[in-house]
Amino acid sequence: MTQDAMAQLVANTILQGSDAMYGRFLDVTSGAQERFEQQDWKSVQQALKTRIQFYDHHVGLVSQQLRAMLGKEHATRSFLMAVKAAYIKLLDDYPRYDIAESFFNSVYCRIFEHRNIRRDKLFVQSSQGGRIPKYPTPLLRRFQSQAGIYATLERMLDSTPFTLPWRDKSGDLKRITQILQQRFGPQLTMSFTIEMVRQPFFRNKGAYLIGRLDMANQRRPLVLPLLISDNGELYIDACITDSDDVSIVFGFARSYFMVYAPVPAALVDFLNQLMPNKTPAELYTAIGCQKHGKTELYREFLYHLDNSDDLFDIAPGIKGMVMSVFTLPSYGFVFKIIKDKFAPQKQMTHAQVREKYRLVKEHDRVGRMADTQEYRNFIFPRHRFSDALIDELLNVAPSCVSVTDTEVRIRHLYMERRMIPLNIYLEQASPDALTQAVQEYGDALKELAAANIFAGDMLFKNFGVSRHNRVIFYDYDEIAYLTEVNFRRIPPPRYPEDELAAEPWYSVGENDVFPEEFRTFLLVNPSLRDEFERLHPELFEAEFWQQLQHQVQEGYFHDVRPYSDALRLVKA
């Protein structure tokens, strides 16, 4: 077989693998409505994990197939460039070129074990110039106003695919009509259009109708979250029309949506119009295409590098015992690498740390755990690194970092949204901001626990404050399932001398946690302690945590809404 024929065969094999992967991705996604309507919340969580795992599974299958097809004589630059050229031709008019390019990159890196990575052999930038493919059916349904807001909304609602009965459809529509009239007034008395994505979005216990209002002189998002009542009836829980509020719904600390998207680029383009402050990387990730989100994030990073000149430096805050963190002051992400050696009190391996991050990726993050993107052999320009950072990295992770005159190469790292460390935020906070942060911190612990997650290391330095002032957990090396923790009360002292002893008078197991001790190691600041006691006294009680454990074990899934009570149709 000639080189060109073999290159064509390899290109076809990779694209077929990408198609197979995305086909299974869509198969799992297509079951989201049934899982929602049957309220099968356990299967919702399992489907999330299953769908994430498809990508690496299919990359492995294709890589194994290509290794069997090819010998070492094909690992030449000319052959690899011929494969890429053949692949680009296959992507002309191909509807999922974006996903296919990332899949190509993944297969290449898997075969060469992240060696021999050069931009000319990979799709570092897209070959398609950002074209937006057409949907096989129209992406949007349009509803032109004819007989007023209520009637237009009713037609929109009647077009949805749900099979459950409505609890009070007319009541919900009246409330939404009133809300829209209050927010937009005269603009809705004129001609307006509602445009909605045909396919609902599903996540956790909710479904979301997502679209926009097109009025005389402005466009606004229109997001309607749907829930199921105790009687098995649908109802609209909120009406969201502000881009910032929609952005929170699509936040980086939440699980990925299930939405049937045969042409993800077109859907992302529309979502970007609703949330102009979101990047393509964030939106691809939010709809479950997190591997292509990783590609887009890298592209956005390269663009930022080309349009900035500041230096990478050690991230502000208390240095971690397991991870070393650095950042670029002008950039909205941090870079985290695992140290070669951990502090003595950290009894774990590198593999265990990576497993913790994988657990978070596949778990319900309930808006309280930052998502990360994992990279290998990440290359930075040497001249953009401060000398202090170079010294730090070579000192704490010499096996992971190599430095030349022109490059800093890091064999394994995580990229994560940058936030203000909570300990720093609290030091600078006004009294009102401090109260809000303490409320958020306690809420974060409760919501994580309700999702079967115990943070482990609960120190403020392991949490961050987002631009929306939400407290989010981001240090995962001691994370555990809540059901694996043994919450205990401290036994009363046997004798007065027990309280003065250097060692506890009671036995302490490996997984034992004593919530009463949170006061001692978390709340040194008296004002913080007072606020915490006022807002979250139950967090000091073992019985509270045991009750949450029991609910998790019984299969109870808490409601964690990604929007404020102020946006709900009926306030809590």
Backbone phi and psi for residue 292, each to the nearest 5 degrees, phi listed first? -75, -30
Q: pLDDT value at position 137? A: 86
Q: What residues contact residue 69 under an 8 Å CB cut-off, 6+ apart?
A: 9, 10, 13
3-state secondary structure of 323: strand
First to last CA, the chain: 69
Give the residue-averaged pLDDT of 423-443: 93
Residue 480 burial class via C-beta count within 10 angstroms: exposed 0-12, middle 13-18, buried 19 and up? middle
E strands of 49-185, at which residues? 140-144
> In 3D, which of 98, 84, 85 has the Cα closest to residue 129?
98
Q: What residues contact residue 536 under an 8 Å CB cut-off, 6+ apart?
A: 438, 439, 442, 445, 446
Q: pLDDT value at position 125? A: 93
Q: What residues contact residue 86 under an 8 Å CB cut-off, 6+ apart?
A: 4, 7, 8, 10, 11
Tell me the pLDDT tens digit for each residue of 127-136. Answer: 998 899 988 8
371 is catalytic: yes
| Catalytic residue (choose from 237, 371, 475, 477) | 371
E strands of 315-406, at which residues? 323-327, 333-338, 372-381, 401-403
Cα angle for residues 178, 184, 188 (degrees, 5° grid): 80
Give the residue-averaged pLDDT of 167-181: 95
Q: pLDDT value at position 520? A: 80
Instruction: Please tell me the pTM assigned to this model.
Output: 0.93
Q: What tokens appear for 231 in the block?
A: 């009687």
Q: What is the mean pLDDT of the chain?
A: 92
Bridge partner residues of 413 (DSSP): 375
Rounded distance between C-alpha atoms, residue 505 and residue 508, angstroms:
9
- What confidence category does residue 120 fall into, taking pLDDT thresholds of 50, 70 and 90? confident
Q: Quick count: other Cβ atoms within 10 Å of Cβ 346?
A: 16
Rounded distance between C-alpha atoms, residue 98 and residue 132, angstroms:
10
Rounded distance between C-alpha atoms, residue 134 and residue 315, angstroms:
43
**Whether the Cβ atoms of residue 48 and residue 362 lie closer than 8 Å to each other:** yes
3-state secondary structure of 512: strand
Check pLDDT > 60 for residue 569.
yes
Rounded distance between C-alpha atoms, residue 164 and residue 38, angstroms:
9
Backbone phi and psi for residue 465, each to the nearest 5 degrees, phi listed first? -115, 120
- Bridge-based pairing state of the strands 486-487 and 512-513: parallel
Q: What residues contact residue 213 under an 8 Å CB cut-off, 6+ apart?
A: 180, 184, 188, 192, 193, 194, 219, 220, 221, 222, 241
Tell me the pLDDT tens digit for each residue of 495-544. Answer: 776 676 777 777 888 889 999 888 887 777 778 888 899 999 999 999 99
- Give binding residues for ATP as ranges: 315-321, 336
Tell me the pLDDT tens digit for each residue of 354-406. Answer: 999 999 999 999 999 999 999 999 999 999 999 999 999 999 999 999 999 99
Q: What tokens appear for 434 in the block?
A: 């401090």
Rounded distance between C-alpha atoms, residue 4 and residue 266, angstroms:
33
**Whether the Cβ atoms of residue 259 and residue 287 lie closer than 8 Å to each other:** yes
Check pLDDT > 60 for residue 241.
yes
Each as own residue / partner, the long-range contacts of residues 82-86 (CB below 8 Å, 24 or more positions apart, any chain) are 82/3, 82/4, 82/7, 83/7, 83/10, 83/11, 84/11, 84/121, 84/122, 84/123, 85/7, 86/4, 86/7, 86/8, 86/10, 86/11
Q: pLDDT value at position 116? A: 60
Check pLDDT > 80 for residue 36.
yes
Q: pLDDT value at position 548? A: 94
Rounded distance between C-alpha atoms, residue 96 and residue 101, angstroms:
9
Residue 520: which H helix or E strand, with range? helix 518-522
Helices (H), 70-146: 77-91, 97-111
